[in-house]
Amino acid sequence: MLGSMSDTLPSKPLATPRRVWSIPRAGSLSRLALHTEPLAPPGSGEVQVEVTAVGVNFADVFACLGLYSATPSGKFTPGLECAGRVRSVGADVDRWRPGDRVMVLTRFGGYATALNASAATLWPIPESWSDAEAAAYPVQALTAWYGLTALGNARPGAVVLVQSAAGGVGLNALQALQTLGARAVAVVGSAAKREWLIGQYGGQYGLTPETVIVRSPRLAADLDAALASLGAQGFDVVFDAVYGADFEPSFARLAAEGRHVLFGAADFMSVGRRPNPLRLAWQYLRRPRLDPLAMISQNRGLLAFNLIWLWHEASRLPEAMRGTLALIPNPPHIGGCYAFEDAQAALAAIQSGKTMGKLVLEPHRAAEPAAE
């Protein structure tokens, strides 16, 4: 006897529900909203990942505020990285199996409890690392690796100025410099960060009270004192994503052949939930500028980059991840874990400029009870 149609046709894979943060258009953090939607099965070349941790980046705030040039126009989900377990794989995916622990690079879309990602953007989680550490690693470690080696040309013995040294990228940069045998001078935004950095990592990264500086109007004198304590004439590399008042005194202290590597403009961060256009315009008009002709005779250079281009160069990712893990082999410092529902609080914390290390969202963590 013939079976019914439903017995004979292959069953169609079903969409599964997921929670996702999205914003209808960039411009204000208040527009970010959490909702539930169906997630289709993975397409050809894709892997479906159940997300267990999401990395929070300073760039996520810039993206929501509309101050990040790579931000999609219209509705988007923030998030450049996450970690989790492979749930299922689409056609033409050989490398990954259900259950594999993976970190995922996402060009936006990471703030989700499950997602479909191109198989080429996944990387296995080192065995001893937690999922939170894995989600915290790719963006900031790749940034430190690329900026310090490919652009900064940091070598053993080099003297390198690291801005925001207690932050996510900054701590990765300090670890990279230790591996390279280079010497770091750290700049941070508060006395509390300075104390924490010296106490937590001073011994490991060769930092002394002279080489950890709190940003202040007397920065030039502090930089000179730090260089003198290292017996150095100038910096071989300045690693800078602040682009504020420190820019000119740092550039002026580059040694011959020194490179200032610029990869962000944290100084342009807004204070509230939406940008202040007048303040931004004023800052933009007064931004530090350089004269390329003067750079020739000074033998100093400025290089700049945005790593987001790498997300489109999937064939280069394995080489990039291998290089990064060799340079920065230890898991990152997690400064705070938040429930997935508390993404707004995590973004506010990183926007404040007070955080140390990396913040992570965890879908399986219970949300903080609302304040009375």
Ligand X SMILES: NC(=O)c1ccc[n+]([C@@H]2O[C@H](COP(=O)([O-])OP(=O)(O)OC[C@H]3O[C@@H](n4cnc5c(N)ncnc54)[C@H](OP(=O)(O)O)[C@@H]3O)[C@@H](O)[C@H]2O)c1
> Parallel, antiparallel, or unpaired for β 301-304 and 212-214?
unpaired
Q: How far apart are CA 87 and CA 91, in angstroms?
A: 14
Which of the stretches 6-14, 95-103, 166-174, 283-291 binds ligand X when contact is defined by CB under 6 A? Answer: 166-174
Residue 194: name the closest of 222, 168, 166, 223 by CA.
Answer: 166
**Residue 247 or residue 263: which is nearer to ligand X going by CB?**
263
Rounded to a whole number of angstroms, the minimum distance from the CB of residue 372 to ligand X is 29
Q: Lay out the site mask for ligand X across 249-268 (x = CB under 6 A, - = otherwise).
A: --------------xx-xx-
- Can residue 104 be called a binding residue for ligand X (CB under 6 A)? no
- Can residue 307 be called a binding residue for ligand X (CB under 6 A)? yes
Per DSSP, the residues of 259-305 read EEEE---GGG--SSSS--HHHHHHHHHT-----HHHHHHHT-EEEE-
Residues 342-371 that bind ligand X (CB under 6 A): 350, 353, 355
- Can residue 237 be called a binding residue for ligand X (CB under 6 A)? no
Q: Lay out the site mask for ligand X across 30-59 (x = CB under 6 A, - = otherwise).
A: ---------------------------xxx
**Residue 170 or residue 331: which is nearer to ligand X going by CB?**
170
- Can residue 170 be called a binding residue for ligand X (CB under 6 A)? yes
Region of 116 please: left (phi>0), alpha (psi -120 to 50) or beta. beta
User: Are residues 81 and 54 in contact, defined by beta-carbon separation less than 8 angstroms?
Assistant: yes
Buried b (16+ CB within 10 A) or exposed e, 63-94: bbbbbbeebeeeebbbbbbbbbbbbbbbeebe
**Residue 216 or residue 233: which is nearer to ligand X going by CB?**
216
- Can residue 332 be called a binding residue for ligand X (CB under 6 A)? no
Rounded to a whole number of angstroms, the minimum distance from the CB of residue 349 to ligand X is 10
- By CB under 6 A, name the binding residues for ligand X: 57-59, 139-140, 143, 163-164, 166-170, 188-189, 193, 241-242, 263-264, 266-267, 269, 305-307, 350, 353, 355
